[in-house]
Amino acid sequence: MPELPDVTVYLEALEQRILGHKLEKVLISSPFLLRTAVPPLSSVEGKQVIDLRRLGKRICLGFEDDIWLVIHLMIAGRLHWKAGRLASAKGPSKFKAQLAIFQFDTGTLSLTEAGTQRRASLHVVAGEAGLNSLDRGGTELFTGQKRKGSLGNFIDLESFTSILKSENHTLKRALTDPRLFSGIGNAYSDEILWQAKLSPVKLTGKLSDEEIVRLYAATRDTLQEWTERLRAKAGDDFPEKVTAFRKDMATHGRYKEPCPRCGMLIQRIRYAANETNYCPTCQTGGKLLADRALSRLLREDWPRTVEELG
């Protein structure tokens, strides 16, 4: 799922291409994409884009008359850009992955979604009240955020600590809970916790002051670093290779690959459609965290330390 760094770079690319330009036509192929009826989708056609925002992991396009298109890419949704006009106005391609086309006077923005599950969403809302209705309430980690060149100022340690300890959750859940922090998901939470040398299942209520400082710095540095990396990789092009699994990541998606810090094999916990990746040496004191799917089957045979893997 595109998270804060990915969505930031998407917005910067869109700013260069559609800010101040007119949306001429919207064409939708999936009945599951549009989640609102009022205002109608047609209300944005012929209007100019006057603002762009990130709302958590959502991409918000603001138009004249205070109408907003809000796109949530979910896990498999992606955006694509092609300069110029559509060859025809028959609508999105019959290719199943293509859900919508937004025809601007400068080019074509398309929304695709891999796989068969349709989770990506499009909302049309009016004004700040409409945007607020989609806000999960999590705190934005960067204030005074700019769309180009800088994320803005990271929140202070006191605020970060207060939010972190407002509920007693595992660190993985706390970082990814959109009611607590805005924009962090499965991939970057793994990277943050690896950088901070903290277990994903450690409870927030049991963190020492020193551990909170480490987590604070790791959260700030990881999000800034990956935003800069993705920005540099895209350059002046539209970011097409947006993925949750990047070869330069330390842990996420690197199950059974060596930890770049200590060389121990990265381990994982799987649950539903997600997985948590971690280094048992750097993060859990050599202990293996029980994978729910396998530990139920293996019970007493489930290895509990790195040595038992051998």
Is 50 exceeded by the pLDDT of residue 306? no
**pLDDT score at 293:** 54
Handedness of CA 231, 234, 237, 239 (dihedral sign): negative
Residue 106: partners with Cβ closer than 8 Å, 6 or more residues away: 17, 18, 21, 83
Tell me how far apart the alpha carbons of residues 117 and 245 are, in angstroms, rounded to a whole number.
Answer: 20
- Per-residue pLDDT tens over the stretch 250-267: 999 999 999 999 999 999
Helix, strand, coil % (nearest 5) of the chain? 30, 25, 40
The correct answer on CATH 3.40.50.300 for the domain covering 4-135 is no
Tell me how far apart the alpha carbons of residues 201 and 180 are, in angstroms, rounded to a whole number.
Answer: 17
Burial class (CB within 10 angstroms; exposed 0-12, middle 13-18, buried 19+) of 170: middle
Residue 210: partners with Cβ closer than 8 Å, 6 or more residues away: none
Nearest Cα to 80, choosing from 49, 48, 112?
A: 112
**What's the whole-number mean pLDDT along residues 261-289?**
91
Q: At CA 196, angle to CA 192 and CA 201, rounded to 5?
A: 75
Residue 275 pLDDT level (bands cut at 50, 70, 90)? confident
CATH topology of domain 153-309: Helicase, Ruva Protein; domain 3 (1.10.8)
Residue 152 pLDDT level (bands cut at 50, 70, 90)? confident
Q: Where are the domains of the chain?
A: 4-135, 153-309
**pLDDT score at 38:** 96
Residue 307 pLDDT level (bands cut at 50, 70, 90)? very low
**pLDDT score at 150:** 67
**64 backbone dihedrals φ, ψ, rounded to 5°:** -55, 155
Residue 188 pLDDT level (bands cut at 50, 70, 90)? very high
**pLDDT score at 272:** 63
**pLDDT score at 149:** 57
